[in-house]
Amino acid sequence: MGTISLKNISKSFGSTQVLKDLNVDIIEGEFLTLVGPSGCGKSTLLRIIAGLEQQTSGDVLIDNKNVNRIRASERDLAMVFQSYALYPHLTVRRNLETPLRLRDYSTFERLPLIGNLSPNKKQKTESINQLVSKTSETLKISELLDRKPGQLSGGQRQRVALGRAMVREPVAFLMDEPLSNLDAALRVHMRSELSELHNSLKTTFVYVTHDQAEALTMSSRMAVMIDGNLLQLDTPQEVYDNPSSLSVAQFVGSPKINIFKGSSDSNGTVSLLNLTLKRKSSESNLELNIGIRPEHLEITNQSDENTFSATVSYRENLGSDIFFHVNTEDGMNRIIVRGIPQLTHEISSGSKVNIRRVSNKALLFNKEGKRVQFNNA
């Protein structure tokens, strides 16, 4: 229970195609993050899974059952929205009860007053109350049950929205940027809470975000989407270490990966600036983009064949790390280097530094942004 397969999903709004032939298999119980810059179609994809939007072509399968023609409410999914979308006129308790009442009560039982005549209603009400109190205890919102959403803080509303999704014990949770309305500290805190919740519920989570940090920290797998294409679907570590294309490499990781212009000669020897790499490119005679992450460059006093010199233009102190924005001598590249505060605290902007690259960490991309492998790497 809880697998979702998307087969050849395409979606167009008028003449603009926002999703281009996507295939995703979501494994039972995993925390899958759909991540990408805004406008890449990730929310649309989530809404297609939810059934709030109809795909132009392709199939959605939940637990191997085609749900193309099944309404949102009957897909047994729960969704948490960015703005929480709590019913403003109902108390927290009623907000939590609503999905259950709609699922469990018959139309007759939902009628005011005469609905109470139904013999089964009492029993159903009891089970609803139990589920609500169980959920509110899990989320620590029991004392908020009689308040209205307007009287809650952002974090509390977030919990109630989660609770409303949880009470139904759905096949999967869909979350559309649920943390983006919270302040920075609370967001980081809620990340860990969501991960814990996922561990204890063991339900499938599909989580949409534009924040690559959220994707890296929480997900078991992340799907990177750009311009309606699924570029890479893998574990966060794999996506970070081994991006399939230049755009993925640039999107994932903060600060951004440094890109150098370089080339490979007829032997496949890769050269950039004044450096040559030990490993050989699998494709020779090629213009290359060489990506090196800021933490794979270090500032050093020595100068040898593995270093190049540059001028510091800006110093970004984050406490645990200092990031130096430097310009290379040829003026062609503005790059970011991570420095350890203890070793680099005396370096200020304007000073000249030598930068050494850590070997075996460079990533090669061709002119079109496709990944180029090293030989027997």
Instruction: Give contact residues for other proteins (rule: CB under 8 A).
Output: 47, 50, 52, 71-74, 77-79, 81-83, 85-90, 98-99, 102-103, 164
* CB-CB contact of 35 with 223 (8 Å): yes
Residue 122 neighbours by CB under 8 Å, 6+ apart: none
Residue pair 84/113 in contact (Cβ under 8 Å)? The answer is no
55-58-60 Cα angle (round to 5):
80
Look at strands 269-272 and 275-280 and give their pairing: antiparallel
Write out the H or E segment, with its range, that includes residue 337. Answer: strand 334-339
DSSP 156: H
- Tell me the C-alpha distance between 292 and 362, whole Å: 5
Q: Which is nearer to other proteins, 22 or 50 (CB)?
A: 50
Q: Which is nearer to other proteins, 60 or 270 (CB)?
A: 60
Q: Which residue has the tokens 């949102």?
A: 72
Q: Which long-range contacts (CB under 8 A, 24 or more apart) does 146-151 make?
A: 146/91, 146/92, 146/93, 147/91, 147/92, 148/88, 148/89, 148/90, 148/91, 148/92, 149/84, 149/86, 149/87, 149/88, 149/90, 149/92, 149/95, 150/88
Is there a contact between 77 and 60 (Cβ–Cβ < 8 Å)? no
* CB nearer other proteins, residue 85 or residue 188: 85
Residue 28 contacts residue 204 (beta carbons within 8 Å) = yes
**Residue 70: helix, strand or coil by DSSP?**
coil
